[in-house]
Amino acid sequence: MFKIQTLNKISVVGLNNFPRDNYEVASELNNPDAILVRSADMHEMTLSENTKAVARAGAGTNNIPCKELAEKGVVVFNTPGANANAVKELVILALLISSRPVVAANKWVNTELTGKGDEIAALAEKGKSKFVGPELKGKTLGVIGLGAIGAQVANTAIALGMNVIGYDPFLSVKAALSLDHNVKVSETLEGIYAKADYITIHVPQTDETKGMINAASIKTMKDGVRIINLARGGLVNNADILAALESGKVSAHVTDFADEALMNNDKVICLPHLGASTPEAEDNCAVMAVKELRDFLETGAITNSVNFPRATIDSQIPANGTRLCIPHKNVPGMIAKFTTILGDAKLNIAGIVDQSRGDIAYAMIDVDGKVGEESLKLLKNCEAVISVRPIYA
C-alpha cells in the first residue's frame, strides 16, 4: 500500500486515478511514500525518510527545495504543458486589456455614470474618447520562451493577425514542430526588443533570467511597448518598469504577480496569479501528476522531473524478478560496482539503464530472480549511492 500525502486541495479528477486498493491518499499521513502539492511552501518542511517523490500539480517548482531533495534521493516532478491552454487564454486577454483600456472604462462607467439616469447614454458617448486603444492585428508580438505555453501563444497571435517573433535558446524539436510556420524565430533577445510592440514572457525564473526585464533591456525596446508577465514575478524589475511607465517608454504592463509597488497605477494591471486558475487546468495538472507518481512508484520510471534525469525501461520487470532503482552521485565506476555485487550473488542482469543530470544519476537494473537483503545492503553501502529501492514483480 502506497501512502500519498496532499498538501493542497488537489482535483478529485486527478486523485481518482489512484486505485484505492493500493493507494491511501490523505492530507494527514505519517511516513508518506510521495507528496502531491500545488502552492504550499515546502522549504521548511522535514520530510519522512520514507518519502521517495514529490509531484507539483503545475509547472513552477519555486515552492519546493528541489536541489536539497535530489541530494536525498527524492524525485521532484512537475506537469509541463498541462495548464498551457489556460495560461495562453489569459495571455490573449492580457494583450487585449493592455491595448483596449476596458478595465479603466468599466471603472469609469461604474463611478461616473451611476445615478445619471437618462443622461447615461449621452455621457457615455461623450466620455468614450478617453478609452481609445490600438488593435492587435498587424502589430508585432515578441514571445520570450517557446515551450508549451509560448508556442500556443505564438500560434494564437498569428491567428489574430499579429506578426510574431519568438526567442528560445533551448527550443526543442517538439516545440519547433508545433509552431505555426509564420512565426519567426530570433537568435537574440535584442531581435525581439527592437521590433516588438508587445512582449510576453514564458521562461522559468533562474539566476540567469531573474530581473531580465530591467532598465537596460527596456532601453533597447520600442517606444510604447506593452509588457506582459504571467510567468514569474521576479522576471521583471518592478522599479525599472515603473520608471519606464512613468516616462512613457512602456505603455502598459500586465502582471500575474501583485506587488505593493505596482498597485493603483493606471498603466499597470495586477492579477492575483490567475494563470492556471481554471477547472480544466487543475484537472489536467492533477491527472498528469498522479500518472507521474504512479509510474515512478510502481515501475521506477522518471518523466518530467526537475531534479532527476529522465529514465525508463521499455520492458516489464522480469517474471519473479526485481527492478532496482538506485539514485546515486554522478561519479565514474558506479555501474561496474553494481554489476559486480549482483554477479557475485549469481544474479543475472536482464536490463540496465543509467542516466545522469548534473551531479545526480539514476540507475534502473532489472534482475532475474529476487535480490536478497545481503545484496541490497552491499548496494546501499556503495560510496556515492543515495538509496536503493527494489520493486518486485
Q: What are the catalytic residues? A: 232, 260, 273
* Terminal CA-CA length for the chain: 15
User: What residues does 155 pair with on adjacent strands?
Assistant: none
The enclosing H or E element of 33 equals none
Integer Cα distance of 357 and 363 in angstroms: 12
Q: Which three cell numbers stand for residue 38?
A: 500545488
Residue-by-residue DSSP string for 140-167:
EEEEE--SHHHHHHHHHHHHTT-EEEEE
Quick check: 101 and 133 in contact, CB under 8 A?
yes
Three-state DSSP state, 296: helix
Q: For CA atoms 370, 344, 378, 389, give the dihedral sign.
A: negative
Integer Cα distance of 318 and 329 in angstroms: 27
